Amino acid sequence: MADYHSKFLGKDDTGAPLEIGVRDGVIVAVGGSLDGEGEHAHDFGDAMLLPGWIDAHVHFNEPGRADWEGLATGSQALAAGGGTVFFDMPLNSSPPVFDAASLLEKKALAEKKSWTDFALWGGLIPHSLTSLPEMARAGAVGFKAFLCDSGLTEFPATDRATLIEAAKVAADLNLPIAVHAEVPVPNQPPPSGTDYHAWCRSRPVTMELAGIELALEACEKSGAAFHIVHVSSPEGVDLIQQAKAEGLNITLETCPHYLLLDEENGAAIGNLAKCAPPLRPRDQVEALWNRLNQGLIDTLGSDHSPCPPELKTSSNIFEVWGGIAGIQHGLPLVLSRNPSLSCQISQKVAERFRLPAKGGLRVGVDADFIVLQKGSFPIEGQSSLTRHPHSSYLGMTSSWQVAATYLRGEAITGPGRAQFLTPQAS
């Protein structure tokens, strides 16, 4: 008979009864009807219990740009949206994370301010190549590179030669490289117009495919692990799946906005929907859903990239900051269409980034899970916990609402329990 501190009762993603036994913050039993008595029983009735979202792609912009978001407000909104772990990108903080000192500075801030556990990406630019080992020793979960303009002069694009050389270093360090895979294609005509459709025409799918091809080349030459972030097209998924079949060590992420919004939505929303890669036509969105439902997409990351409202006001969309904010509502909206995404939001992320204490609802991992209530929940600005309430999801309605988020067996109610996560040896 199992011995629990707590037992949590609800439903799984099929509607079947689910009980989770927890002791000292770790899951010790999972089943439909568990033996044993706990000190505390929490019966959530027909609410669904899912593993907490490990969001491996956020921009909380601290230190230096806390007025854009911040570790406290960003992680609070993540927890309200079903997240228990975030991986913060090396930009848009100032300074960016290019060495051990900047990584440890961000770590210290997050340990004080974060509502959830966290990991940190190191930055890969031509001038940070020699700093990759020290960032690895400081606990970086991997290295992030842009193959195009990042929008920030302090974070320049990584060229082909640097990417291949960095991949060899990353392979020796046993850490993955995350790639923003867009590369301008030869003879691409300059954009005409200044509206949302012009933005989409300026960054066609061919740019994404060219970026993926470059990442695949570096992956093949180095043997390093690669993770392609925010894949927006079914063609990109297919290209990566083909590389997997050929034995390359590569995974891919997509984001809620590429599943929830299309180009016409973007044109109607306007500047708030500017992102890179841009939103795609409806037929590509449906094809992306098809691949997600087949299990061909490894992870789901928010790419939450907020900014102050004044950076979204220009009449010329090319002058607007690119980034979609929506970390609080993206996951519930996606789950409204398919609630059976446990692997993509948790287990596969933990496996890819070597976090054995995380991932899924199974014996031996941290009791990180969310309680989801069924209903009809409109997305309204006043409900937003992010620093700025603007979101491309305003006006949409979710079929699920996160009633509670549990981190190591305790409901998240504020900062103070955050742990810094680092990759474990294979």
Among the listed residues 332, 305, 306, the one whose alpha carbon sits nearest the alpha carbon of residue 403:
332
- Encode pLDDT of 284-324 as tens digits: 999 999 999 999 999 999 999 999 999 999 999 999 999 99
Percentage of the chain modeled with pLDDT above 70: 99
Q: Are the CB atoms for 262 and 282 separated by under 8 Å?
A: yes
- The pLDDT score that the predictor gives to residue 215 is 98
The tokens for 275 are 């992102």
Residues 6 or more apart whose Cβ sits within 8 Å of residue 249: 219, 223, 224, 225, 226
CA distance 236 to 399: 29
Question: For residue 185, what pLDDT band results from cuts at 50, 70 and 90?
Answer: confident
- The pLDDT score that the predictor gives to residue 1 is 45
Torsion angles phi and psi, residue 254, rounded to 5: -125, 175
- Encode pLDDT of 116-143 as tens digits: 999 999 999 999 999 999 999 999 999 9
CATH architecture of 52-352: Alpha-Beta Barrel (3.20)
CA distance 309 to 326: 14
pTM reported for the whole predicted model: 0.97
- The pLDDT score that the predictor gives to residue 367 is 98
Q: Give the length of the chain.
A: 426
Q: Is the pLDDT of residue 75 over 70?
A: yes
The tokens for 425 are 């040896």
Residue owning tokens 């770790």: 26
Question: For residue 71, what pLDDT band results from cuts at 50, 70 and 90?
Answer: very high
Q: Is the pLDDT of residue 38 over 70?
A: no
- The pLDDT score that the predictor gives to residue 426 is 60
Domain range list for the chain: 4-48+364-387+396-411, 52-352
Say if 4-48+364-387+396-411 and 52-352 have the same CATH topology: no
The tokens for 288 are 């992306």
* Domain 4-48+364-387+396-411: homologous superfamily in CATH: Urease, subunit C, domain 1 (2.30.40.10)
